[in-house]
């Protein structure tokens, strides 16, 4: 049994926990603690605050899931900077500054893919395709709509080993499929030279979808933030917001299907992230599944892919522990 500090660092929050990794590879987490990045001048001071909460001592190993490029295990980025908070991490100084003997750095969405690889079948909710477990061999695509659109994939071999690949698949071009999506694209082109799928199927995109639908109907609507529109739409309180949420689900289905084709994710597709979990009931009742498989000559192939939603409460922390176990086994 080995104990490891696991950390999932985003723009707003840094989540910490102690993971225990058994000799058989089994992973367990203690109760996570969430710190606001704005409350701490650096990652090191946040680390020290967590250490104090844990009684002044921590395990001599750490694994960090980081929202940004981290390089490779043998060649990490010399300085890791965060997009939405002022922290920086210098991998060369981690052992000295944190007092640890071993560490792992992993992209946050690669960590989610590690979680998908290690989670048992009970941690997945069926969304579309055949109601069967993810394949034990082959490629699984992992897609996470949130503040942006995270994309990764993993390959499972027949021996039970797996490999994870982080990607920037959220930045492929958006391809509209009907006149409504044409209108959404036209609206986005007024502000962006190039419109990626992240502009349409990430959480903040609900504002543009909502306002594009209003324009199509010639309606004047108040300026609302994304959180308000999501709330109005998922509750059904506002019919236009509900239509925007349905449209989001349709577009997410299309993008997920495209990524499965591009990555060869025929062993399964997993939707991850807090937004996916919050709209899970809407996804089930929407046209997500129909759009996922609507790939012309490949519809029968798409119809055979199990599509799941991961419901593990802390996939980033669990995946950071799995990445550490994979690197230091």
Residues 6+ apart with CB under 8 A from 326: 114, 164
What's the rounded mean pLDDT across residues 287-295?
Answer: 96
What's the rounded mean pLDDT across residues 128-155?
Answer: 95
What's the rounded mean pLDDT across residues 173-181?
Answer: 95
Higher pLDDT, 26 or 307: 307
**Confidence check: pLDDT of 188 > 90:** yes
- Quick one: DSSP state of residue 80? E
What's the rounded mean pLDDT across residues 182-192?
Answer: 94
Cα torsion 258, 305, 144, 319 to 10°: value is -130
Indicate the pLDDT class of residue 85, thresholds 50, 70 and 90: confident
**Confidence check: pLDDT of 73 > 80:** no
**Confidence check: pLDDT of 239 > 80:** yes
Higher pLDDT, 5 or 69: 5
**Confidence check: pLDDT of 83 > 70:** no
Indicate the pLDDT class of residue 129, thresholds 50, 70 and 90: very high
The two three-digit tokens of residue 43, written as one number: 């990652």
**Confidence check: pLDDT of 95 > 70:** yes
pTM, 2 dp: 0.91
What's the rounded mean pLDDT across residues 235-239?
Answer: 94
Alpha helices by DSSP H, the chain: 43-53, 94-98, 108-118, 179-189, 206-216, 226-235, 239-263, 274-278, 280-285, 288-293, 299-303, 315-328
Q: What percent of the chain shows pLDDT beyond 90?
A: 85
**Confidence check: pLDDT of 161 > 80:** yes
Mean pLDDT of the chain: 93
**Confidence check: pLDDT of 275 > 70:** yes
**Confidence check: pLDDT of 75 > 80:** no
pLDDT digits (tens, 9 = 90+) for 48-65: 999 999 999 999 999 999
E runs forming strands in 67-222:
71-72, 75-76, 80-81, 88-89, 102-107, 124-128, 138-145, 149-156, 162-166
CA distance 219 to 214: 5
Residue with tokens 């509209």: 176
3-state class of 125 per DSSP?
strand
pLDDT digits (tens, 9 = 90+) for 201-221: 999 999 999 999 999 999 999
């Amino acid at each position: 049994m080995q104990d490891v500090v696991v950390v999932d660092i985003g723009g707003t929050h840094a989540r910490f926990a102690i993971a225990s990794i058994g000799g058989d590879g089994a992973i367990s987490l203690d109760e996570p603690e969430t710190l606001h990045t704005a409350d701490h001048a650096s990652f090191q001071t946040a680390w020290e605050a967590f250490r104090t909460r844990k009684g002044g001592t921590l395990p001599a190993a750490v694994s960090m899931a980081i929202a940004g490029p981290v390089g490779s295990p043998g060649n990490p980025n010399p300085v890791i900077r965060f997009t939405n908070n002022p922290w920086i991490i210098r991998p060369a100084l981690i052992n000295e500054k944190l007092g640890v003997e071993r560490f792992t750095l992993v992209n946050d969405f690669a960590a989610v893919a590690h979680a998908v690889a290690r989670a048992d079948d009970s941690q997945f909710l069926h969304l579309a395709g055949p109601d069967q477990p993810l394949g034990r061999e082959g490629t699984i695509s992992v897609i996470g709509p949130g503040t942006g659109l995270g994309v990764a994939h993993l390959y499972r071999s027949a021996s039970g080993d797996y490999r994870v690949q982080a990607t920037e698949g959220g930045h492929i071009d958006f391809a509209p499929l009907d006149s409504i999506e044409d209108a959404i694209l036209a609206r986005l082109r007024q502000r962006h030279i190039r419109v990626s799928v992240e502009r349409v199927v990430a959480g903040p995109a609900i504002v543009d979808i909502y306002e594009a639908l209003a324009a199509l109907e010639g309606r004047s609507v108040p300026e609302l933030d994304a959180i308000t529109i999501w709330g109005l739409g998922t509750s059904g309180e506002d019919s236009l917001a509900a239509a925007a949420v349905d449209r989001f689900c349709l577009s997410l289905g299309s993008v997920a299907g495209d990524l499965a084709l591009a990555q060869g994710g025929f062993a399964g597709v997993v939707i991850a992230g807090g937004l996916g979990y919050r709209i899970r009931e809407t996804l089930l009742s929407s046209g997500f599944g129909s759009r996922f498989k609507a790939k012309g000559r490949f519809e029968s192939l798409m119809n055979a892919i199990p599509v799941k939603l991961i419901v593990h409460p802390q996939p980033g922390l669990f995946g950071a522990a799995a990445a550490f176990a994979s690197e230091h086994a």
